[in-house]
């Protein structure tokens, strides 16, 4: 049986490696009736929210009109078009990451932030988002911290990152 075709998305000029993760999701869902929603879900999990640039990329890759992509993204309340916080901490809670300790990282980060995943800290510094699998299972446990995939996370490194974000511009409230 032939392998499914690989989608050739246009290379992203930013060089941002997260687009490679998105390409995998596009290849996986391409041709399915619900491809647009599934790919937008994947895009939001990888990037934290759906900015215009991302919707243009998805529209081109799936060969859909941008108006349709934008329409779906704005119709469903679970899609976010803007980050709520200054920084976005996307923690992967997929199976590989979960068995490597993602739950402990989640607890530690929530404790430090005083906010749950799915929420933004009161000072608007950090939005906490859970993802299923961001496609880097070999590096588990994994998070996407603003623009970068961070692998082999520990509770200490995760909390350290949050502290650094919170320190930028003001003292850390401990």
Q: Which residues bind ligand FES (CB under 6 A)?
A: 92, 94-97, 133-137, 140, 142
Going from the C-alpha of 122 to that of each of 39, 128, 173, the distances in angstroms are 30, 12, 12
Provide, rounded to whole angstroms, the least separation between the CB of residue 144 and ligand FES. 10
In angstroms, rounded to a whole number, what is the distance separating the alpha carbons of residues 174 and 166? 10
In angstroms, rounded to a whole number, what is the distance separating the alpha carbons of residues 113 and 163? 9
Residue with smaller CB distance to ligand FES, 38 or 123: 38
Comparing every residue's Cβ against ligand FES, the nearest one is 94
Provide, rounded to whole angstroms, the least separation between the CB of residue 148 and ligand FES. 14
Residue with smaller CB distance to ligand FES, 45 or 54: 45
Residue with smaller CB distance to ligand FES, 46 or 115: 46
Provide, rounded to whole angstroms, the least separation between the CB of residue 25 and ligand FES. 12
Residue with smaller CB distance to ligand FES, 46 or 162: 46
Provide, rounded to whole angstroms, the least separation between the CB of residue 67 and ligand FES. 32
In angstroms, rounded to a whole number, what is the distance separating the alpha carbons of residues 174 and 162? 12
Query: Count of CB atoms within 10 A of residue 38's CB?
Result: 16
The H-assigned helical ranges of the chain are: 18-29, 35-47, 52-62, 66-75, 95-99, 102-113, 155-167
């Amino acid at each position: 049986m032939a392998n499914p075709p690989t989608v050739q998305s246009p290379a992203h000029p930013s060089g941002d490696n997260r687009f490679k993760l998105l390409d995998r999701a596009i290849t996986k869902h391409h041709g399915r009736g619900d491809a647009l929603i599934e790919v937008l879900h994947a895009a939001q999990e990888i990037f934290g929210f759906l900015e215009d640039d991302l919707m243009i990329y998805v529209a081109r890759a799936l060969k859909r009109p941008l108006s349709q992509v934008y329409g779906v993204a704005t119709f469903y309340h679970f899609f976010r078009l803007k980050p709520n916080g200054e920084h976005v901490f996307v923690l992967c809670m997929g199976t590989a990451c979960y068995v490597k300790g993602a739950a402990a990282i989640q607890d530690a980060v929530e404790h430090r932030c005083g906010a749950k995943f799915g929420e933004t800290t009161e000072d608007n510094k950090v939005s906490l988002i859970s993802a299923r699998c961001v496609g880097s299972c070999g590096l588990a446990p994994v998070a996407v911290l603003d623009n970068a995939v961070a692998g082999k996370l520990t509770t200490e490194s995760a909390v350290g990152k949050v502290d650094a974000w919170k320190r930028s511009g003001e003292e850390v409230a401990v």
